[in-house]
Amino acid sequence: MGIKELIARREGENYELHRGYLNPFFVRVLEIIGYDVVYTRGEGAYLYDRDGNRYLDFLSGYGVFNLGRNHPAVKAALMEVLELDRPNLVQMDCPLLAGILAERLVRVAQRSFPGLDAVFFTNSGTEAVEGALKFARAVTGKPRFLHLEHSFHGLTLGSLSVNGDAYFREGFGELLPATAIPMNDLDALERELKRRDVACFIAEPIQGKGVYVPDDDFLPGAQALCRKYEALFILDEVQTGFGRTGRFFCGEHWGLSPDIVTVAKTLSGGYVPVGAIITRREIHRRVFRGLERAVVHSNTFGMNELAMAAGIAALEVIEEEGLVERAAELGARFMEGLKRLQDKHEMVADVRGKGLMLGIEFGPPRSLKLKAGWKSVESVKRGLFAQLIVMGLMREYRLLTQVSAHGVNIVKFLPPLVVREGDIDYALEALDGVLSEAHRFPGGIWGLAKDLVRGALGT
């Protein structure tokens, strides 16, 4: 049976299959928050369900879809590769498309970070981070890693060691030696670096979990301290890269010059998993030190033809459609709108971010009536208010968003960079609508709280 027929026959069984064979608890979570939709098609910034309803996707598959879904140029590149019956994964050869993508990645990376000129391909973001941590140890001969509180770099054991959230770390045993630094605390960073046992300091230029933006002097200061104490400075651009924040790489906002940059997500064009470590030749040479160690770090699928073709096409689309500039312009429009909402609604405590990576943080209300509502959800579990907003946006406006981390009242927006002005305005209207309801207690979206609280209590 062909895939088309298979899909046609079994569409709708999605959640039952996952309940049976994958993660039933995740299925339950989706049901509780009203995200248990059977999507049948994706195009650009939109998803469609079986009844033809359209959803606006401000989640972007956790930042994979800067180009939007099913971009025709990426699709065409992949179809061409399939038609050519390419000699894929020979392994003991040097595949052309990997060479071309590496050349192009170096070209774009150098516009942001002069000096980067060597690439290693991976299958995911976390694998890029794992590799980068290994590179840092190989180069410095030192064991310990520094990272930021609230950081997220993936969930394999190395990346988990530099994760700043106990939720992800708990229950998985002993990790690599690593120390968390509070964002903007250069003294704390220097104290740790002074111990001279640090291989690298790794940071997301804007944190995905919580959309925390560092003060302007922090990352440049951190970079200088790393140089002073001979530790590598690694910038994880897995989420912030490829135009997301209104610059090609987010580190450009501060004129940074990292030793290693990790990328993934959007490089896939939204189709074929791929990641990369971009670094300086001198660092690369200290890992792959000679003929004897030419294959000391490698993987099976890293340079596969489909991923490489997707990467090449994705980079071309970003340039041709001016997506970096688009992110800056539309991001400014979105941010202005969010600020207006902050002035209007008392529970909006903060709005922040850059380009089209934006967050809105909620805080306790002042008025007595609203306090009752806030307490009714927040006393059960911190962060439930933000979840209520996410639920309202979905149920009433078919707008996909997410709570930005565990136990926080922050909703994150990561629209595809191909989003239209009208979509941004619609999202702002939706937020205004849901927030207006949230500022009327009881009633409105507070009605959704019952399901949520029952879910949080596991009843």
- Residues contributing to the site for ligand PLP (CB under 6 A): 62, 124-126, 129, 152-154, 204, 208, 236, 238-239, 264
Write phi, then psi, for 296 (nearest 5 degrees): -70, -25
Measured at the alpha carbon of residue 39, what is the angle toward residues 34 and 41, in degrees to the nearest 5?
Answer: 150
Give min distance, CB of 151 to ligand PLP, in A.
8
Give min distance, CB of 2 to ligand PLP, in A.
30
Give min distance, CB of 234 to ligand PLP, in A.
11
Amino acid at 205: P
Minimum CB distance to ligand PLP smaller for 127 or for 437 = 127
Which residues neighbour 202 within 8 Å (Cβ) at sequence distance 6 or greater? 129, 132, 133, 145, 146, 147, 151, 153, 162, 234, 235, 236
Minimum CB distance to ligand PLP smaller for 236 or for 259 = 236
The residue count for the chain: 459
Q: How far apart are CA 63 and CA 239, in angstroms?
A: 6
Give min distance, CB of 244 to ligand PLP, in A.
10
Give strand pairing partners of 150. Answer: none
Q: Where are the alpha helices (DSSP H) in 271-383?
A: 281-287, 305-320, 323-344, 368-378
Minimum CB distance to ligand PLP smaller for 118 or for 261 = 261
List active site positions: 152, 236, 265
Nearest to 256 by CA among 374, 141, 390, 109: 109
Minimum CB distance to ligand PLP smaller for 39 or for 62 = 62
Minimum CB distance to ligand PLP smaller for 205 or for 444 = 205
Answer positive or negative: Cα dihedral of 414, 181, 147, 108.
positive
Give min distance, CB of 127 to ligand PLP, in A.
7
Give min distance, CB of 132 to ligand PLP, in A.
10
Minimum CB distance to ligand PLP smaller for 413 or for 446 = 413
Give me the helix-helix angle, 421-438 and 323-344, nearest 10°: 20
Q: How far apart are CA 251 and CA 244, in angstroms?
A: 11
DSSP labels, 242-264: TTTTSSSSGGGGGT---SEEEE-
